[in-house]
Amino acid sequence: MTAPRPITLALVQHPCSDDGAENLQRTLNGIREAGDRGAKLILLQELHRSRYFCQHQSTREFEQAETIPGPTTQHIAELAGQLGVVVVASVFERRAAGIYHNSAVVIDGGRGIVGVYRKMHIPDDPGYNEKFYFTPGDYRDGQAGFEPIDTSVGRLGVMVCWDQWFPEAARLMTLAGADLLLYPTAIGWDETDDDEERQRQRDAWETVQRGHAIANGIPVAACNRVGFEPAPEPTIHAGAKDTAKHAREGIRFWGSSFIAGPQGEILAKAGTDEASVILATVDVSRNEAVRQVWPFLRDRRLDAYEDLLKRSRH
Amino acid sequence: MTAPRPITLALVQHPCSDDGAENLQRTLNGIREAGDRGAKLILLQELHRSRYFCQHQSTREFEQAETIPGPTTQHIAELAGQLGVVVVASVFERRAAGIYHNSAVVIDGGRGIVGVYRKMHIPDDPGYNEKFYFTPGDYRDGQAGFEPIDTSVGRLGVMVCWDQWFPEAARLMTLAGADLLLYPTAIGWDETDDDEERQRQRDAWETVQRGHAIANGIPVAACNRVGFEPAPEPTIHAGAKDTAKHAREGIRFWGSSFIAGPQGEILAKAGTDEASVILATVDVSRNEAVRQVWPFLRDRRLDAYEDLLKRSRH
C-alpha cells in the first residue's frame, strides 16, 4: 500500500492592470489568503506581474523582463518563506541580451528558488504574439525540457500555457515521475467570436487538460487570469480579408482556473469573471491506484511510436 | 479555401446475446437503418457478432474466430454493396493457428474490403482478459500499426477500444493524414462500483477521446455496445483480498456512443441503456480551418520528444 500524500493546492486568479505594483500586490494577497486557508502549494497565473503584453509586438515591452532571481521572485520568496509554502510563479525572464523566456519559477518556502521551467511550446496567433518575445525552452541530451521540479510537497510537472495543448508534454512529465501537472495560463476570448464559439473554446481548453489527467493518471491544475485587457495597438490586416479578424479590441481572459484529479474529475473551479483563490486537496498517492486499474503506461506500444518524432508522416 | 467535404456518419449501438445469428441481424438492421437515414459511413461496435467473451479465459471461445474475409465480412459486404456505404466492422480474426487478432475491417460499398486494422494496444484487467485472446497488431519498418485506411468517403483513422486511451495513437493517425478517428468499443461498468465511480469512468472515457479531437483538430467517433452481459464464470481471487473484487457478476456496457467535432464538441450521443443508431454530418474540410486557428501541429517540439520512445524516464 502506498502511504497517503495529500497536497492542499491553491490557484490565485486575478485581473491585471497597467500598474505592475498593483498586480504584484494582488498576487501577494492571493498567496497570503491561500496560505491562511491551508494551502501548501500555490499556483499563480501566467505573467501575473503585468498586462498580457503579447497582444502586440513592441520592443518597449522587453523593458519589463527581469532576471531569475530578480525583483518578482524576491518578493514572492519572502512571503513564501514566511508562510512555509511552495509557490509556482511566472516571470518574463531576461536570460541574456536577445534571449528572453516565458518562465515558471518554483519557490519552496525558506529554501527559495528550487527550479525554473522555460516554456517549451510557444504560440503565435492573433492576440498572442509570443514568438516575438520568447525563446523556446532548451532541451539537449536529456537536460531541461520537460523535467519535473522536486519540492518539499512533491515532484511538480510545471509547464506553461500553450504546453497544455500537447499530450506529448504531459506524457513526458508523467514518465519522469511528476506527481501532478501545473500550468500557469493566460487565455481568453476574442470578442468578435460568437457565444457558441467561445463556449467551444473554453470547453476545449478544459477538456484537453482533463484528457492529460486521464491518459496519465495524474492530477492537473491550470491557473488563468481574468478580466478584459484592451489591445495596445489594434491592427487591421488589409489585403487578407478572408482570414483576418476585424480590428481586435482586446482579450477577455476567461478565468475558469481549475483543479482536476487523476481520472479527470473536476475538484475545484473558479468563475469566468472575478478574482478568486480556489483550493483542493489532492492525494497524489492515489495516482498509483488509478494507474493499476487503468494501466495505460503498462501497454504503450513503444515499438510503434517512432513517427511521433516526425513533423508529418506524409 | 478548402472545398467542403461533409461525411454523414452513423454509429450502430446494440446489445448482444448468446445467439450469434441474432447479433448479426441486429447489426445488419442497424446498417440498413443508417443507410436509409442517409449515412455514407457506418461505424459498428467492437466484436458485434458475439457476447464480449473476454470476461473470462476459455479456449472454447477461439472457435468463434474467423478469417478476413470470412462469414461476418461477407454478410456485411453484401449489404454495404447494396446500400453503397462504407462500414467499419469488428471481427475476432483467426490469422493463423495461435495468432488471433481483434480486428477492424473497412468495407467500401461494392469494392468490398479495403483495409484491416489490428488492435495495437491490448487491455487486460478484471473482466477484460484480452491479452489471453488477442495478439497485438504488427508494426515494422513503418508498415501496419497506426495507418489510416483510404475509402471513397475519406481517409479513416480506424483503431479499436483500448487504443482510445492513448494520445500517441491519435497523434500518429493524424500525422498520417487521417480525416477522422473511429473506435469500435466494448466498455462498461462493474456493478460493484458505486455511482460516483461509474460516472467518473464514463466521463473519463468520453473526455480523453474528446481530448484527442482537440489536440489534433480532428473529429472522433466511438461506438460502444450496450446492455448487461453476465460473467461466464465468476472468479474469486482468494488470497488477494486487498485488491480483488468480489465475484464479478458481469459488465453493464454503458453505450453512450458519440460523435465529436474537431474542437471536441459533441455532435451526437446515444443513451446508456438502449439500442440506437445515431448520425451526424461532419465536414472534415473544417479540420484545416481549426488547425490554422489552433496550430498545435506547427509547434510540436520534435527535438524534445525522444523520451516518448521510453517506457519510463527513471
Task: Please report, for chain A, the start and end positions of each structural domain, with discontinuous segments joined by +.
Answer: 6-309
Place of cell 473476454: B54
User: Catalytic residue among B40, B46, B206, B223, which?
Assistant: B46
Neighbours of B223 (CB within 10 A): 29
Exposed, middle or buried: residue A217 (CB in 10 Å: 0-12, 13-18, 19+)?
buried
Q: What is the mean pLDDT of residues B177-196?
A: 96
Pick B6-309's CATH classification: 3.60.110.10, 1.10.1240.10, 3.40.50.1820, 3.40.50.720: 3.60.110.10
Q: What is the mean pLDDT of residues A262-273?
A: 98
> Residues A216, A218, A219, A220: is their CA dihedral positive or negative?
negative
Q: What is the mean pLDDT of residues A42-57?
A: 98
* C-alpha cell at position A211: 484528457
Q: Is the complex ipTM more than 0.90?
A: yes
- pLDDT class for A58, splitting at 50, 70, 90? very high
Which residues from B are below 8 Å from A203, CB to CB? 263-265
Give the Cα separation of B63 and A295 in Å (integer).
Answer: 29
- Residue range B129-170, pLDDT digits in tens: 999 999 999 998 878 999 999 999 999 999 999 999 999 999
- pLDDT class for A242, splitting at 50, 70, 90? very low
Give the Cα separation of A252 and A273 in Å (integer).
Answer: 9
Contact A204 B264 (CB under 8 A): yes
User: Catalytic residue among A40, A54, A130, A161, which?
Assistant: A161
Which residues from A are below 8 Å from B265, CB to CB? 200, 203-204
* C-alpha cell at position A71: 525583483
Q: What is the mean pLDDT of residues B296-303?
A: 98
- pLDDT class for B246, splitting at 50, 70, 90? very low
Contact B310 A299 (CB under 8 A): no
Q: For residue A213, is pLDDT > 60? A: yes
Instruction: Name residues whose C-beta falls within 8 Å of residue B40's C-beta, 6 or more positions apart in sequence.
Output: B7, B8, B9, B84, B85, B86, B153
Q: What is the mean pLDDT of residues A120-147?
A: 95
As beta bridge partners, residue A190 has: A251
Q: What is the pTM assigned to this prediction?
A: 0.95
A289 vs A239, which has greater pLDDT? Answer: A289
Q: What is the mean pLDDT of residues B249-272?
A: 97
Give the Cα separation of B176 and B146 in Å (integer).
Answer: 8
Q: For residue A229, is pLDDT > 70? A: yes
Percent of chain A whose pLDDT exceeds 90: 91
Which residues from B are below 8 Å from A145, CB to CB? 301, 304
Residue B90's φ and ψ, nearest 5 degrees, are: -130, 130
Percent of chain B whose pLDDT exceeds 90: 91
Instruction: Name residues whose C-beta falls within 8 Å of residue A306's C-beta, 6 or more positions apart in sequence.
Output: B309
Percent of chain B whose pLDDT exceeds 70: 95
Contact A214 B201 (CB under 8 A): no
Q: For residue B210, is pLDDT > 50? A: yes
Q: What is the mean pLDDT of residues A175-184?
A: 98
Contact B122, A304 (CB under 8 A): no
Q: For residue A314, is pLDDT > 90? A: no
- pLDDT class for A2, splitting at 50, 70, 90? confident
Q: What is the mean pLDDT of residues A177-204?
A: 96
Which residues from A are below 8 Å from B142, CB to CB? 307
Q: For residue B259, is pLDDT > 50? A: yes
Please name the member of B120, B305, B310 whose beta carbon is closest to the beta carbon of A309. B305
pLDDT given for residue B248 in this prediction: 76
In three-state form (DSSP H/G/I as H, E/B as E, the rest C), the secondary structure along B128-165 is ECHHHHCCCCCEECCEECCCCEECCCCEEEECCHHHHH
Closest by CA to A169, choosing from B211, B295, B301, B208, is: B301
CA B204 to chain centre: 16
Pairing of strands B155-158, B180-185: parallel
Q: Which residue of B has its CA nearest to A312?
A: B175
pLDDT given for residue A193 in this prediction: 93
Q: What is the mean pLDDT of residues B34-63?
A: 98
State the average pLDDT for chain B.
95
Distance from CA of A149 to the nearest CA of B (A): 14
Q: For residue A238, is pLDDT > 80? A: no
Q: For residue B241, is pLDDT > 60? A: no
Q: For residue B97, is pLDDT > 60? A: yes
Q: Find the distance separating the first CA and the last CA of chain B, reported in whole Å.
A: 47
- Residue range B215-225, pLDDT digits in tens: 999 999 999 99
Which residues from B are below 8 Å from A302, CB to CB? 309-311
What does DSSP assign to residue A290?
H
Half-sphere exposure of B17 (CA within 13 A, CB side): 8
Exposed, middle or buried: residue B239 (CB in 10 Å: 0-12, 13-18, 19+)?
exposed
B245 is catalytic: no
Place of cell 478469417: B67
pLDDT given for residue A240 in this prediction: 44
A46 is catalytic: yes
Q: For residue B101, is pLDDT > 70? A: yes
Q: For residue B100, is pLDDT > 70? A: yes
Q: For residue A311, is pLDDT > 70? A: yes
pLDDT given for residue A233 in this prediction: 67
pLDDT given for residue B247 in this prediction: 59
Distance from CA of B117 to the nearest CA of A (A): 14
Pairing of strands A155-158, A188-190: unpaired
Place of cell 449489404: B79
CA angle in degrees (0–180, nearest 5) for A266-B260-B15: 95
Q: Which residue of A has its CA nearest to B208?
A: A211
Mutate to test the interface with B, among A129, A173, A181, A307 (most CBs of B within 10 A): A307
